[in-house]
Amino acid sequence: MEGCIKAEWDRLRKVIVHRPGIEMFFGLLDPHASLYERAFSQNAALKDHDRLVGALRDQFHVDVGYLTEKLKAYAEGSIKAKAMVVDSALERIDFVGDAKEVAQARAELKENIDTYDTDYFIGIIMLMPRMVIRGSKGVEAIHINVTERDPLANLYFMRDQQAVTDKGIFLSRMSKPQRRNEPSLTRMLWKMMGLRIAHESAAPATFEGGDFIPMKDFALVGTGDRTNAQGAEQMLRHGQSFDEVAVVHQPSNPLIPGTAPDPMVDMHLDTYFNVAGNGLVLGSEALLKRAYVDIYQKEGSSYRKVPGSPSLFDYIKGKGFDLIGLTTLEQLSYASNFLCVKDRAVLAVDSGLIVKKVLGNLEFKTKEDKKRYGALLSQAKKDYHTFRRSGQLFPHRKELNQHGVDVYAVDLKDITGGYGGARCMTAVIERS
């Protein structure tokens, strides 16, 4: 059913994506501040995105819709939908400066609502401009300074603004201020499409969709840098109705000193763990063995926490799932961030095309902080030399063939620089 999902391995039918626009340009002015992993070519990233969409449509016959195109179509066919877009835009544009000029600019914008295209208002929501307007004394001149305030540079990671559960859509409250306004766009589309909103995350909760994986009889909810304990609690209370939910605590990497997890090494649950089919998962064993889980079982309309906190490794093996382990270099190269399109068929990042970029980025970080990243870099280099000798690097692994997994590898070497792969870039709204 559209807007409700029980299992990650059910056949993929419909997704929504966002092809990056001018907001990515602003994001690339400061990749680190924009939560990107590294700098990359925007033109090449757009070609990567087109390849992803092409594979979904041509290879797997998935119905792929574009976020802004869908919003525009609904807004141009419905006065109510258009008002939703316009009202959201008016809340996000800011005029400051000379009082008279500010008042005139506000009035002019409102007077011309029917003149402007829907794209114009969507652009305002995505860029959140602040107009500083000042007049000059003695001359007829008005000076305008336009500032973009936290443009939605990560919007193309469409997984995170929501989780789609067995009860409907659980809307996120993003952890980082750079992403906080993204659900305002996706929320509008889900409402226009008539999809059920199970719950909207509310402060102090933070929640992001990359931390949720439905497993038919149970579900996994990751916590850590992006989804906090309150977010997991709201998911338990309002977001789903699985018989069992395992809340996974973000692990620290044993190759990084200290006990604090590095959010750019395992940001979401799906950056170190994923499901390839009924009974088969992939993940970094080193991280799965350090990620402990709290288990909640359904009792009536609520959940009861059961004793014990096993590792995710032990928990998932106890559920009868086979595990294909990922090396450190594979995990850093988005191997786990594949998209399951049906039972034992996945659309994956071709990790071999980006390992040098990943190693280069890690070398830069090691120069900045050798104590923190030296051991991680050393292991990644060892993995690279092993790959060069064996030719075995995800998704070109014999274990996948042995487990009957069909893999379609996609070149996403530039667009992954934003820190995410095929799963991160797709809002899945229907499986069957």
Of the chain, the percentage scoring pLDDT greater than 70 comes to 98
The amino acid at 155: L
**Dihedral sign (CA 260, 264, 266, 268):** positive
Token readout for 62 is 């998935």
CA atoms of 358 and 160, how far apart (whole Å): 23
Average pLDDT, the chain: 96
Does the pLDDT value for residue 139 go beyond 60?
no
The domain over range 12-70+152-431 is classified in CATH as 3.75.10.10: yes
CA angle 12/221/254 to nearest 5° reads 110
The per-residue pLDDT for 322 is 98
> Measured between alpha carbons, how far is residue 331 from residues 105, 198, 285, 351 in Å?
50, 32, 10, 9
Domain boundaries, the chain: 12-70+152-431, 71-148
Side-chain half-sphere CA neighbours of 355 within 13 A: 24
The per-residue pLDDT for 207 is 98
In this structure, are residues 371 and 257 in contact, taking their beta carbons and an 8 Å threshold?
A: yes
The per-residue pLDDT for 142 is 66
CA atoms of 390 and 380, how far apart (whole Å): 15
The pTM of the full predicted model, rounded to 2 decimals, is 0.96
The per-residue pLDDT for 399 is 97
Does the pLDDT value for residue 418 go beyond 60?
yes
